[in-house]
């Protein structure tokens, strides 16, 4: 509304803030952690809104604002509705930034699922059961079948209608796990390779945004394909029973699938269980360092970083810190230029 104070989380090039100004916003706080913020400043100036947009470089969960907001908005929805951090950032922003009667955009996220036939994409999973160049790469097969694949699905790749099993306000859900289940009807004969997933974002009571392959006004954003361990022939009248758990902060999805064949008894149902947690590549060295019994000590590079942080005491200029770092750690930095690069990486991340 005209006169509103607006917060744009993860603002990128700042386009949503410009639209807010066009709609009459009194002030916009454009929060962006990456160097895109510099481009956003230039675009803002080119459009004549520098008097109303305040740019804040940082992660929204680590910054403070001088006044409460009427509206908090973000386009951090991802492919399936949660991957880009919307739930975590919105929950924090509602608690710390928003007026009691303020609104968030989007107001709700609805998850959508459909049975999918996609042979070429499933072959990317099965590839690891082969022997390219005569090499055994089968250890990667389990990782491949427990991975979500971004893909732009087509309506003809769906084996039945989509189902909307779950809807949530991202500003109140926070980091809590999301659990839901549904039954997907099969309406044509084909081969089930996996699940197709997308979102519907409720921007206002009358406006939605979706990357659905069935939407005539589909936004240009890919969907997600969650594969089954092996293809299953299906026909009209069959059903796919899905149970899904989502961990928003970890960006992890577990999908359990039962296939109920219309011409077979329930005792012969096919069952699959997959999880992106099983598809994560984690080096054993890193895993060992996360064990509760692990006793950490600083590496030489960790000690150098500690040196820089200690020298950032509010009295020393950057040039002095660079020289002192080179003096204390000559084995790590062959020149002042190398030390300066290291110092810049540390202070841009941790200093104010």
Looking at the predicted structure, is the pLDDT value of residue 1 above 70? yes
Residues in the chain: 352
CB 223 within 8 A of CB 153: yes
Confidence at residue 267, expressed as pLDDT on a 0 to 100 scale: 67
Q: Classify domain 5-105 at the CATH superfamily level.
A: Vaccinia Virus protein VP39 (3.40.50.150)
Instruction: Domain 108-284: give its CATH architecture.
Output: Distorted Sandwich (2.70)
- Averaged over 1-7, what is the pLDDT? 96
- The mean pLDDT of the chain is 94
Cβ-based neighbours of 315, under 8 Å, separated by 6 or more? none
Q: Is-contact 46 99, C-beta < 8 A?
A: no
Q: What's residue 268's pLDDT?
A: 76
Q: Which of 147, 177, 182, 151 is nearest to 274 (CA)?
A: 147
What value does the mean pLDDT take over residues 19-26? 96
pLDDT beyond 90 at 172: no
Q: Model confidence over 226-281: pLDDT tens digits?
A: 999 999 999 999 999 999 999 988 889 999 999 999 877 776 789 999 999 999 98
pLDDT digits (tens, 9 = 90+) for 48-96: 999 999 999 999 999 999 999 999 999 888 899 888 788 888 999 999 9
Strand 27-32 with 53-57, pairing: parallel
Instruction: Give percent above pLDDT 70 in the chain.
Output: 100
pTM: 0.89
Which residues, 6 or more positions from 118, have their beta carbon under 8 angstroms from its beta carbon?
151, 153, 157, 193, 194, 196, 225
Q: What is the mean pLDDT of residues 18-46?
A: 96
Q: Is the pLDDT of residue 175 over 80?
A: no
Q: What is the mean pLDDT of residues 123-151?
A: 94
């Amino acid at each position: 509304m005209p006169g509103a104070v607006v917060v744009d989380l993860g603002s990128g090039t700042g386009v949503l803030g410009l639209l807010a100004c066009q709609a009459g916003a009194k002030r916009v706080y454009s929060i962006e952690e990456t160097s895109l913020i510099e481009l956003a400043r230039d675009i803002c100036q080119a459009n004549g809104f520098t008097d109303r947009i305040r740019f804040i470089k940082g992660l929204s969960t680590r910054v403070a604002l001088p006044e409460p907001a009427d509206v908090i908005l973000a386009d951090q929805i991802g492919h399936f509705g949660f991957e880009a951090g919307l739930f975590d950032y919105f929950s924090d922003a509602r608690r710390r930034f928003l007026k009691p009667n303020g609104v968030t955009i989007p107001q709700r996220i609805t998850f959508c699922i459909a049975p999918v036939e996609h042979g070429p994409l499933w072959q990317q999973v099965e590839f690891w059961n082969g022997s390219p160049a005569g090499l055994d790469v089968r250890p990667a097969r389990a990782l491949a079948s427990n991975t979500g694949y971004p893909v732009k699905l087509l309506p003809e790749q769906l084996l039945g209608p989509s189902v909307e099993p779950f809807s949530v306000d991202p500003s109140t859900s926070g980091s809590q796990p999301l659990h839901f289940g549904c039954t997907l009807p099969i309406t044509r004969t084909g081969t089930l390779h996996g699940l197709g997933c997308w979102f519907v974002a409720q921007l206002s009571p009358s406006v939605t945004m979706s990357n659905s392959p069935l939407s005539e006004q589909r936004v240009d954003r890919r969907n997600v394909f969650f594969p089954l361990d092996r293809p299953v022939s299906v026909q009209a009248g069959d059903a796919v029973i899905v149970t899904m758990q989502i961990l928003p902060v970890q960006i992890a999805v577990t999908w359990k699938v039962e296939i109920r064949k219309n011409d077979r008894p329930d005792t012969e149902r096919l069952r699959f269980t997959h999880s992106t947690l099983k598809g994560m590549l984690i080096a054993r060295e890193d895993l060992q360092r996360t064990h509760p019994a692990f006793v950490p000590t600083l590496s030489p590079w960790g000690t150098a970083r500690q040196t820089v942080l200690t020298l950032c005491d509010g009295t020393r200029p950057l040039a002095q810190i660079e020289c002192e770092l080179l003096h204390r750690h000559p084995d790590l930095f062959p020149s002042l230029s190398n030390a300066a690069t290291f110092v810049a990486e540390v202070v841009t991340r941790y200093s104010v």
